[in-house]
Chain A
């Protein structure tokens, strides 16, 4: 199973990025093989619709779950039909969140915030 997390830097020790759509990188972590891949988030530079593009990247990288502090409705509209489960991160460390997820301690993210209507997120 693969988990995706928006991260500020390309290391497991990185902090989770506060923005999903405009995070600089995504960490894709394979729970079985314990392998980590870091991908650049090309959506970060978009003038609009970043959440949509970022979500497409997660889908294309075959993640099964996303760990994120927050998510906008556009991104949610991409991830939900893709059947990717969305969990709310508990702390700031990417590694800690992965461990928490594996231990079954993370909750599903219920609060989807209103879209930014193509004007970028904050």
Chain B
């Protein structure tokens, strides 16, 4: 069961929720798809970490074969190639790795070389398998790293898998939720939080993903996020109260369920609700 945790707005508690749900489960997998700013590993402190570099393909020219026809320069929609004084120059940062120039070259003068853009790490923390994606600073897009993180063989069918998504609702978030069975939207009770919740709500509907909301940092006052859920008939899976102790544990990168029984109970109960919700959806969609 693959559960994606997303929020739209940053700082609402995606990592708090995904890390603690994973820790509260028996034997689970946690995948950190927030490759620009991965944080889950700071909580899990995984051991036995194995690493794999992720690269994209960039064209490379064999100057002996290049006859200066410039078909590649003209083809490239991203302007990543220039032809100056009988030499082809490739702009790595601008290249989108589409492979088009390789195809159009009539002299077969273009081949591809790898450019490392980041890495994927796998480690273990108690009973949780921790996958972390890390994008190198200066690189524009982490999508190839997310694709690697979410390949089939990383997602073991009998284990609960929690996918910690990046903030927002752009292409990188879509990539993270593409193969999820269920989406948990984490919302905070602020004006900004609701505005962004609305965006991911539209996103999960567009992708036809079953979803529910966890309200985080709940206070006694009126909760605009809760109101939004009521108005739109969105299932509220649970509420996490605004809690200084929880906040402190979280800011010290401690896994709350391991530090205090009351949090273990809170997240175990949330887990049960989420699991039940996922099963219900499975039976309704796969009769």
Contacts and interface: CB of A to CB of B under 8 A. Distances in A.
Interface of A: 43, 46-50, 52-53, 55-56, 59, 74, 77-78, 81-83, 115, 117-119
Contacts of A82: 84-85
Interface in B90-109: 91, 93-94
Given A49-B91, A74-B94, A118 B82 contact: no
A43 to B, nearest CB: 7
Contacts of B79: 43, 46, 48-50, 52-53
A118 B89 contact: no
A61 to B, nearest CB: 13
B51 to A, nearest CB: 26
B91 A56 contact: no
Contacts of B83: 56
A84 to B, nearest CB: 9
Interface of B: 73, 76-85, 87, 89, 91, 93-94, 140
List 7 A-B pairs, minimum CB-CB distance, nearest first: A49-B79, A118-B94, A53-B79, A49-B94, A82-B84, A78-B82, A52-B79
Majority DSSP secondary structure for residues of B touching A: loop
B87 A77 contact: no
Given A47-B78, A81-B85, 12 more contacts: A47-B77, A48-B94, A49-B79, A52-B80, A53-B79, A56-B82, A59-B82, A59-B84, A74-B91, A74-B94, A77-B91, A82-B85
Contacts of A52: 79-82, 91, 94
B47 to A, nearest CB: 36
Tell which of A46, A48, A78, A81 has the most Cβ of chain B within 10 Å. A48
A81 B78 contact: no
A115 B93 CA distance: 9
Contacts of B94: 48-49, 52, 74, 117-118
Tell which of A50, A59, A115, A118 has the most Cβ of chain B within 10 Å. A118
A56 B78 contact: no
B95 to A, nearest CB: 9
6 contacts: A55-B82, A77-B91, A81-B84, A117-B94, A117-B140, A119-B140
A63 B80 CA distance: 21
Contact of A49 (B78, B87, B140): B78
A117 B85 contact: no
Contacts of A53: 79, 82
Contacts of B91: 49, 52, 74, 77
Given A48-B78, A52-B79, A81 B89 contact: yes
A50 B80 CA distance: 9
